[in-house]
Chain A
Amino acid sequence: MKPFTTLEAVACPLPLTNVDTDQLIAARFMKRSRADGYGGYLLYDMRFDESGAPRADCVLNDPARQGAEILVARRNFGSGSSREAAVYALVDYGFSCVIAPSFGDIFASNAVNNGLLPAIVTEPDCEALLAELMQGARTAKVDLEALTVEAGGVAVPFSIDPVWRTKLLNGWDDIDLTKSHAAAISAHMAADHAARPWMLPQRRPG
């Protein structure tokens, strides 16, 4: 995974609450292979009308926001389904950072596992960032070392779990780290089998 340190990029304001993962990627697109890319299906029903034509009122279709890598939304972003495809859609579209006052827990960990930064700001700070962007600021600057985000004339702090921050800063992958603990895993499982012999699924005849 590519390390994340700082990012200065076009930012897109999405002043909506509860943008759930069903909206981020509708179920009907989830049969596709990741290799084909999910970016075209991000927020599909918000971006396109019934005939598939881009909706002019959708900020993602605003010519000034093309190439956006930072998304700013209201609270409870990424709530709902655990579908990691919601993160694939954001990442494949080009986003590297989502800023909101709160995130769905599973979404946030999926995001970190794909190098997408879920940055938590307070609700007033979020409103201030949204206001700057909607009043014409085009870009934002996110600094994961300093835990700050700036847009237009506003600079605010953000928070993220320190473990996730370290993971993103280094671009680490969990599986390799876990494998280095193989001996501890086997020891735990052996001790557990003695302590909880009933844990294993019983298979009954028939």
Chain B
Amino acid sequence: MPAPRIAGLYSREFGVAPQGASSGRTLFDKVFDSHVVVRGDDGQCLLAIDRHFLHEGSFHAFNKLKERDAEVSRPDLTFGIEDHYVPTRTRDLSTIDPAVRSMIEQLRDNSARHSLRLFDLADPGQGIVHVVGPEQGLTLPGLMVVCGDSHTATHGAFGALAFGIGASEVAHVLITQTLWQKKPKRMRITVDGTLAPGVSAKDMALSIIARIGADGASGHAIEYAGSAVRGLSMEGRLTLCNLSIEAGGRCGMVAPDGTTIDYLRDRPYAPQGALFDRATRDWLALNTDADAVFDREVVLDAGEIAPVVTWGTSPEDAAPITGSAPDPATIADPARAAQVRDALDYMDIRPGQNLTDIRIDRVFIGSCTNSRIEDIRAAAAILAGRKSRVPGLVSPGSMQVKRQAEQEGLDHIFRDAGLEWVDAGCSMCVGMNGDLVPPGERCASTTNRNFRGRQGPGSRTHLMSPAMVAAAAVTGHLTDMRLLMREPAQAEAEARP
């Protein structure tokens, strides 16, 4: 693996731990082992699946079922959610692009044919799959969760083992409620200390990716630990685990604790009463033994994490906002130099340019990474009483988040600032519904991928936290949000409609 890109400053790394030196098991081992149905001689394990989430992209898998004339094995554990293609400015499907509409209709047909619970556009619980699962209490500690979407790692915030799968695997789970997997290696990422005011889980995650690389956790299951991780709310943990895939990790987990239990109590699909108490005992036992050994350990100091933005076309191309874009002429590794040159060229950024000098054309607040109520509040706190210099879209992660934000009056802050306040869906994260960044435009975005063309052909994406996007909106260029932070009381007073 090539050396880390930036920000090697605030981390140290241990070597690979010897295997078999300890009998202790990790959180990951405990959840994985309890789901093994068959263990093959070759190391492949057939795993039982507890929750399977589907979205519009599942049509390839349903077509495979049709070819085999197969049924869904466990409709009671399978949930459909309309999110990737849904319109956000209307809920009336008769008015939208017929090709997009047909994606939504195929999911409706397939859900109806197999009697699956579907969170459709008319459902008050509709939203992005990785927001809805936790919010409805469908995601619980210790569960094996899969979805045909790479950000399924999000659900690991509860101590669930959650990972994204492809269409062939979706078909396999639909038909058998199981999946063959080989046990990955284990990596622990420990973040100790206290995050500075305004620094969020997104900054923590981007710092980790910048440190270990976009494939740094490839082949590994990540456990996030340390006092700074424990100090995160469920929303923050969801953001952190969500970005595991951008470090190449297929899953990321946080051990359940009091924060987890408090969040789950009284969620619609979560156990209740005596069953909840019983579950709580089981959940709190899900943690890594003190003598467990990881294949790789990475340690970061929370106090050294600053607000981070990406400057390139991979999430590993991230740097503190106080820094500058790299200069390929000073990079010794020719492959890395070529990669940086291509990325700067695509992004239209000069080598060594100060990140705060980068002007933006548009903002987007949304996606499964940063669209929960805390994210909306963090952006609103910066935007309160201010105007956005650029157009932009705010799409809450679920209709429930949207209602709650409206009860708090936050929709007024965004509208008054000149941004659009729309309905829930994947929206401009991936642009499948037509919410696109126009060619050549530069978008400050709370999403997870700054890939070429991700937000539309020719679009340029800078990833950052909701507060950082709000700050960029206010000034029209990438900005250290700490300069715009106010006393909470003042922000709150300003926030009142």
Contacts and interface: CB of A to CB of B under 8 A. Distances in A.
Interface of A: 15-18, 20, 22-23, 26-28, 30-31, 34, 45, 50, 74-76, 79-85, 87, 102-106, 109-110, 113-114, 123, 127, 161-163, 166, 174-175, 177-179, 181, 184-185, 188-189, 192, 196-204
Contacts of A185: 37, 46, 48, 176-178
Contacts of B12: none
B261 to A, nearest CB: 12
A105 B278 CA distance: 36
B483 interface: no
Contacts of B140: 198-199
B454 A184 contact: no
28 contacts: A17-B339, A20-B449, A22-B449, A22-B452, A28-B431, A45-B457, A50-B457, A76-B215, A80-B245, A80-B449, A82-B165, A102-B215, A102-B248, A104-B215, A104-B248, A105-B219, A110-B166, A127-B335, A163-B40, A175-B175, A178-B180, A181-B178, A185-B46, A188-B37, A201-B77, A201-B79, A202-B268, A203-B269
Given A81-B150, A185-B178, A31 B99 contact: yes
Given A23-B451, A105-B218, 9 more contacts: A16-B339, A22-B452, A30-B432, A76-B218, A79-B215, A163-B44, A174-B168, A181-B38, A181-B178
B339 A18 contact: yes
Contact of B172 (A17, A27, A178, A201): A178
Contact of A201 (B57, B76, B276, B451): B76
Interface stretch (B141-149, B323-331, B360-368): B141-149
Interface in B475-496: none
Contacts of A80: 150, 245, 449, 451
Contacts of B269: 201-204
A31 B451 contact: no
Given A163-B42, A181-B37, A188-B48, A106 B57 contact: no
A38 B102 CA distance: 18
Contacts of B46: 178, 181, 184-185
Contacts of A179: 176
A105 B454 CA distance: 20
A17 B338 CA distance: 9
Contacts of B40: 163
Given A80-B150, A175-B175, A31 B103 contact: yes
Interface string B144-171: 0000111000000000000011111101
Given A185-B176, A196-B142, A202-B272, A106 B452 contact: no
A202 B117 CA distance: 13
Contacts of B276: 198
B353 interface: no
Contact of A16 (B37, B76, B172, B342): B342
A87 B165 CA distance: 13
A201 to B, nearest CB: 4
B278 A175 contact: no
Contacts of A109: 165-166, 169
Contacts of B169: 109-110, 113
Contacts of B138: 201
Contacts of B50: 199
Residue picked from B43, B50, B103, B166, most chain A C-beta under 10 Å:
B166
B241 to A, nearest CB: 16
A110 B215 CA distance: 17
A106 B164 contact: yes
A76 B248 contact: yes
B437 interface: no
B150 A82 contact: yes
B150 A192 contact: no
A152 to B, nearest CB: 20
Contacts of B188: none
Given A22-B452, A82-B149, A200-B76, A175 B172 contact: yes
A80 B137 CA distance: 27
Residue picked from A103, A114, A127, A201, most chain B C-beta under 10 Å:
A201
A31 B99 CA distance: 7
Interface string B108-152: 000000000000000000000000000001101011000011100
